Amino acid sequence: METIMIILIGVLVTVATYFILSKNVIRIILGTALLSHAVHMLILTIGEVKKGEAPILGTDGSTYTDALPQALILTAIVIGFAVTAFVLVLAFRTYKTNGTDNLEEMRGDDYE
Amino acid sequence: MTIFLAICIPFLMALLVPLMYTFFPKFKIGWFVLIAPLAVLGILASYIPKIAGGQTAIYTYDWVPSLGMSITVYLDGLSMIFSLLISGVGALVILYAIHYLSSKEALHHFYCYLLLFMGAMLGVVFSDNMMVLYAFWELTSVSSFLLIAFWHHRHASRTGARKSMLITVTGGITMLIGFLLLHEMTGTFSIRKTIEQAAILYDHPLFIGALICVLIGAFTKSAQFPFHIWLPDAMEAPTPVSAYLHSATMVKAGIYIVARFTPIFAYGWTWFWLVTFVGLITLVWGSFNAVKQTDLKALLAFSTISQLGLIMSLLGMGSFAYHVQIDTSTIIYTQATFVALFHLVNHSTFKGALFMAVGIIDHEAGTRDIRRLGGLMSLMPITFTITVIGSMSMAGLPPFNGFLSKELFFSSALATASIDMTSLPSIVALVPIMAWVASIFTFIYSCILVVKTFFESPKKLPDVKIHEAPIGMLISPIILVSFVFGIFLFPNTLAKYILSPAMLSIYPQGASQEMMTPHISAWHGFNTELWMTIGVVVAGIILFKLLPKWKGIYNRLPKHLTLNGLFNRALYEAENVSSFITRLYMTGSLRQYMLFVYIVLLGVVGGYFALNDAFNFSMDNNAPIHIYEVILVGVMGAAAIAMLFVSSRVTATVLNGIIGYGLSIFFVIFRAPDLALTQLIVESVTTVLFLLCFTYLPAWKKDRLPSRTKIMNGIISVAVGMTVVAISLSVLHFNEFKTISSYFENAYELAGGKNIVNTILGDFRAFDTMLEVVVLCIASIGVYQMIRLRMKKGGDRHENK
């Protein structure tokens, strides 16, 4: 199971990297969203997969899945969401100000 | 303690100068400043009897004891000579400056820098601790920089100051490295303690490195070949500064270092060769170049360079005494060092006087260009007399002190040439020849200085009424030339009380002080030295008469091959190359920056794993696979790959949503209910946000990249993906340590909750949650601000302005 998961993560990372290397702002943001999906999945996979019950006490099982990676992912999801939202609005404002969503055209001065 | 005070006086005075200048604007501030060198001179005078008797004075103040840094003030014969020069010439220069600088100048700045310099210079010669010495050393560089650029509205002043700063500070830092190497070898920063260990240092592997580093520091400061190029440009400074710093004191700091470190380094042959021959080359090159100068101060600058080379080469010759037993038959070798010190004093007297005289000419005639000056003899008789005495002393003619030191220089050179040892190649035979040739050129430029300025009929004199300078300006050079003559009459008094104690500092293991002090006599019979001097005069006069015939050789050297040209070119190229290199990677393209990041990731992380053969994975511990999981993986993978090829951004967003929802289903499968909930909601909101933004953004155009770039991007992406896969698989079953999660299973006992994930978020690791909330807060404030607040009209490009 884990091997298949990791191969899927690899595919996601590849696609995300390809998007980030493009010059369109929206593609880059989509790339980062994909990358965060991949990372969340990776944290989950690296923790013990399917080795017990859901981490809620009182269920019958004697073993639970590892709860710590889950807490970490939860935090990461929220932060990833906040950043994505911010960057999306930033893209929107940039487009309003500069009239382009092409990064190659968004260079300020010759010195940069 | 009084000695320590001597260093402090100039610094304290420098603090007071601006106050005095503010509160007593009518008062000539220079008179107040004059107290400092006189006080120092007084303190030093009280020590002369003690030092002349071979004793030393020492005072230690702990500065940073834990690092072995203490301000140790150590006064011995060597520091006595230099400190007398610093305070004595300092007093005369200030006296001269009072009359030279008009009251419209920023005098408080001038005297403040000058006092800083004086204090720093005293600190250099008194310091026994190398780190403290280095600190004062750099302070002399900085204050010299400020003084050269005193008229900072002139371009040439700024250029000259920058050049001298660059060269001397580079040398200073190199010297610091040398000091640190010495500390590495001996474990102490104290020069005296290092000298005690000197005899065993010279076969240490770091010895040569330390020697060269210290020498580079000394050579840059003392304007030795090829670092001399800063000195002529430093002549843009006011003349009192040129007289003080660039003839009598600062440029001799390097001489001081060489003399001070001779007992440490002279045991190795490298020292003898480097110091002697760099000094001789500087001597010849400086005197050769002085002849072609048309600016009086530039002529004097090159003359200073050449004379410093002379002193340096004498110190080198004197270090030969370390390789023989010092007794009556070999005392001739230590004599070279004695002559170096003697000429050091002589040079300060006549060169200071000459600079002041040139300053007077500049002040009264309005130019220092030799081609425009002439026939000033009858107009400025006193200045003329001063210049003639100074020049004759410089050329080495009797009855002035330069004659004595030049004769002694010749005899030391002859003695060095006659060193008959199998270990020395015959190249030492060149020493007296180089000395003699340099003396001829010295004679020629001394003639130029006198004849062209004072005798020949005036050519294009500026349209001012030229008259003799006021008496105030003349006092200092008159005092200096009286020393020039006085030392000629009574050289042995100077030798006995001032110079001979210094010999003990340079040869601590040598013979007695009396033995190493030669008797100087003006008339020493018809020997080789005298014939050499006569030869110098004859050849000099002939060459001076024929000067227009052979002057052309100076234009032979192409301009870009001169040392100045090379220096400027090196600076220019350094700027070009560095900006070229910077532009190679600072392209301004996000894509390229990301490429660098990914390449480093592949190279460093992937490379590390590959090199250490850390890639290993097995599928033994894998959880079992169900068919619906495989379908889910297939769907997500297909969605991801499809995203690459869709032409509509809405489709891409929907595909991204599919991946997100697929992830939440995974969370369900992997027994993570909270995650599944959150992921569902967040994915929905994100998708909505994407769609919302699309209303305002232009349609998704095809990424029009060249196919080569696309292939490159593809290769990098696949490589990154594969690296992530390989590393993840390798660390998947890393079971060295047990997980700590069993602790959190006590959630109910410890935190009173049954949902372990929630207790972790709310109780065990609540800090994370709190800050995550802050992140959300900041993001929402940012979103609000970006939408609501606009830049005011016209204020939209406030960067790079």
User: Which residue of chain B is at minimal alpha-carbon distance from A38?
Assistant: B663
Residues from chain B contacting residue A80 (CB–CB below 8 Å): 682
Q: Is B782 on the interface with A (CB under 8 A)?
A: yes
Interface of B with A in 136-165 (CB under 8 A): none
pLDDT of residue B582: 87
Which residue of B741, B755, B770 is the best one to mutate when testing the A interface, meaning the one whose CB has the most A CBs within 10 A? B741
Residues from chain A contacting residue B597 (CB–CB below 8 Å): none
pLDDT of residue B167: 92
Q: Alpha-carbon distance B667 to B636, whole Å?
A: 14
Residues from chain A contacting residue B745 (CB–CB below 8 Å): 55, 57, 64, 67
pLDDT of residue A17: 93
pLDDT of residue B173: 94
Handedness of CA B132, B138, B143, B147 (dihedral sign): positive
Q: Is A23 on the interface with B (CB under 8 A)?
A: yes
Q: What is the pLDDT of residues B86-95, one digit of tens each?
A: 999 999 999 9
Question: If DSSP states are collapsed to H, E and C, what string results for B70-128?
Answer: EEEEEECHHHHHHHHHHHHHHHHHHHHHHHHCCCCCCHHHHHHHHHHHHHHHHHHHHEC
- The two tokens of residue A74 are 């939860």
Task: Indicate whether B800 pLDDT > 50.
Answer: no
Q: Quick check: bond before B399 cis, omega within 30?
A: yes
Angle at B735 between CA B731 and CA B740, to 5 degrees: 110
List the single residue in A8, A54, A80 with the smallest CB-CB distance to B637: A8
Interface of B with A in 609-668 (CB under 8 A): 617, 619, 622-625, 629-630, 633, 636-637, 640-641, 643-644, 649, 652-653, 656, 659-660, 663, 666-667
- The two tokens of residue B336 are 């070279």
Task: Indicate whether B139 pLDDT > 90.
Answer: yes
Which residue of A9, A68, A95 is the best one to mutate when testing the B interface, meaning the one whose CB has the most B CBs within 10 A? A68
Q: Alpha-carbon distance B110 to B128, whole Å?
A: 29
Q: Alpha-carbon distance B275 to B255, whole Å?
A: 10
The backbone torsions φ and ψ at residue B718, rounded to the nearest 5 degrees and listed phi first, read -65, -40
Note whether B495 and B342 are within 8 A (CB): yes
Domain range summary for chain B, segments of one domain joined by + = 1-200, 330-545, 556-586, 738-801
| pLDDT > 90 in chain B, percent | 22
Mean pLDDT over B736-743 rounds to 78
User: Which residue of chain B is at minimal alpha-carbon distance from A21?
Assistant: B591
CA distance B569 to chain A (A): 24
Interface of B with A in 742-761 (CB under 8 A): 744-745, 747-748, 754-757, 760-761
Instruction: Share the mean pLDDT of chain B.
Output: 85
Mean pLDDT over B232-241 rounds to 88
Mean pLDDT over B1-19 rounds to 85
Choose between A52 and B628: higher pLDDT. Answer: B628
Q: Alpha-carbon distance B636 to B659, whole Å?
A: 5
- The two tokens of residue B91 are 């007093």
A5:B754 CB<8 A: no
Q: Is A10 on the interface with B (CB under 8 A)?
A: yes
A88:B633 CB<8 A: no
Q: Where are the alpha helices (DSSP H) in B396-519?
A: 401-417, 430-450, 471-489, 491-494, 500-506
- Of the candidates B728, B716, B714, the residue with the CA atom closest to the CA atom of residue B600: B716
Mean pLDDT over B666-683 rounds to 90
Q: What residues pair up with B766 in beta bridges, in sequence order? A: none
CA distance A98 to chain B (A): 11
pLDDT band for position B141 (cuts 50, 70, 90): very high
B588:A22 CB<8 A: no
pLDDT of residue B56: 83
- Radius of gyration from C-alpha coordinates of chain A: 19
B623:A13 CB<8 A: no
pLDDT of residue B458: 65
Distance of CA B575 to the CA centre of its chain: 18
Which residue of A57, A59, A98, A100 is the best one to mutate when testing the B interface, meaning the one whose CB has the most B CBs within 10 A? A57
Task: Indicate whether B65 pLDDT > 60.
Answer: yes
Q: Residue B154 carries which DSSP code?
A: S
The SS3 assignment for B568 reads helix
The backbone torsions φ and ψ at residue A109, rounded to the nearest 5 degrees and listed phi first, read -110, 170
pLDDT of residue A76: 93
Q: What is the pLDDT of residues B285-311, one digit of tens each?
A: 899 888 888 888 889 999 999 999 999
B775:A82 CB<8 A: yes
Note whether B589 and B600 are within 8 A (CB): no
B720:A52 CB<8 A: no
Q: What residues pair up with B69 in beta bridges, in sequence order? A: B64
List the single residue in B637, B649, B675 with the smallest CB-CB distance to A74: B675
Q: What is B178-195 written as a DSSP string?
A: HHHHHHHHHS--BHHHHH
Q: What residues pair up with B75 in beta bridges, in sequence order? A: B57
List the single residue in B622, B682, B783 with the smallest CB-CB distance to A77: B682
Mean pLDDT over A53-82 rounds to 85
Q: Alpha-carbon distance B591 to B732, whole Å?
A: 31
Q: Alpha-carbon distance A75 to B761, whole Å?
A: 8
Q: Residue B428 carries which DSSP code?
A: G
Note whether B129 and B69 are within 8 A (CB): yes
List the single residue in A46, A89, A91 with the smallest CB-CB distance to B732: A46
A79:B775 CB<8 A: yes
Mean pLDDT over B608-613 rounds to 82
pLDDT band for position A109 (cuts 50, 70, 90): low
Note whether B304 and B351 are within 8 A (CB): yes
What is the number of residues in chain B?
A: 801
User: Which range, A37-51, B256-270, B469-483, B765-779, is most confident?
Assistant: B765-779
Residues from chain B contacting residue A60 (CB–CB below 8 Å): none
Q: Alpha-carbon distance B224 to B308, whole Å?
A: 7
Residue at B730: amino acid letter? S
Q: Residue B321 carries which DSSP code?
A: G
Q: What is B55-72 written as a DSSP string?
A: --EEEEEEEEGGGTEEEE
Residues from chain A contacting residue B682 (CB–CB below 8 Å): 77-78, 80-81
Note whether B7 and B73 are within 8 A (CB): yes
Q: What is the pLDDT of residues B173-224, one digit of tens each?
A: 999 999 999 998 888 888 888 888 887 887 888 888 899 999 999 999 998 9
Q: What is the pLDDT of residues B382-408, one digit of tens each?
A: 888 888 899 989 888 878 888 888 888
Q: Alpha-carbon distance B769 to B766, whole Å?
A: 5
Task: Indicate whether B422 pLDDT > 60.
Answer: no
pLDDT of residue B475: 86
pLDDT band for position B423 (cuts 50, 70, 90): low
pLDDT of residue B704: 66
The backbone torsions φ and ψ at residue B306, rounded to the nearest 5 degrees and listed phi first, read -65, -40
Q: Exposed/middle/buried for B207, CB within 10 Å: 0-12, 13-18, 19+?
A: buried
Q: Alpha-carbon distance B543 to B786, whole Å?
A: 82
List the single residue in A1, A21, A74 with the smallest CB-CB distance to B594: A21
Q: Which residues contact B655 (CB under 8 A, 6 or more apart)?
A: B639, B640, B642, B643, B646
pLDDT of residue A112: 43
User: Which range, B98-112, B550-564, B576-590, B757-771, is most confident?
Assistant: B757-771
Q: Is B535 on the interface with A (CB under 8 A)?
A: no
Residues from chain A contacting residue B653 (CB–CB below 8 Å): 30
Q: What is the pLDDT of residues B89-123, one digit of tens each?
A: 999 999 998 888 877 888 888 889 999 999 999 99
Q: Residue B464 carries which DSSP code?
A: S
Class of domain A2-51+64-105: mainly alpha
Residues from chain B contacting residue A77 (CB–CB below 8 Å): 675, 678-679, 682
Which residue of B589, B620, B629, B697 is the best one to mutate when testing the A interface, meaning the one whose CB has the most A CBs within 10 A? B697
Interface of A with B in 54-73 (CB under 8 A): 54-58, 64-68, 70-71, 73
pLDDT of residue B305: 92
User: Which position has the token pair 């999660």?
Assistant: B741
Q: What is the pLDDT of residues B454-478, one digit of tens each?
A: 887 766 666 666 677 788 888 888 8
Residues from chain A contacting residue B696 (CB–CB below 8 Å): 92, 95-96
Residues from chain B contacting residue A95 (CB–CB below 8 Å): 696-698
Q: How many C-beta neighbours within 10 Å does residue B468 have?
A: 16
User: Which position has the token pair 């993978």?
Assistant: B637
- The two tokens of residue B600 are 């480093």
B700:A65 CB<8 A: no
User: Which position has the token pair 């024929």?
Assistant: B546
Q: What is the pLDDT of residues B309-334, one digit of tens each?
A: 999 999 988 888 887 777 777 777 88
Q: Alpha-carbon distance B425 to B417, whole Å?
A: 10
A86:B619 CB<8 A: no
Residues from chain A contacting residue B591 (CB–CB below 8 Å): 21-23, 103
Domain range summary for chain A, segments of one domain joined by + = 2-51+64-105
pTM of the full structure? 0.81
Note whether B231 and B297 are within 8 A (CB): no
Q: Alpha-carbon distance B312 to B296, whole Å?
A: 24
Q: Alpha-carbon distance B140 to B229, whole Å?
A: 18
B622:A2 CB<8 A: yes
pLDDT of residue B798: 46
Distances (CA, A) of B276 to B248, B314, B337: 21, 7, 11
Size of interface A-B (CB pairs under 8 A): 261
Q: What is the pLDDT of residues B473-506, one digit of tens each?
A: 888 888 888 888 888 888 888 888 888 888 888 8
- Of the candidates A27, A37, A34, the residue with the CA atom closest to the CA atom of residue B645: A27
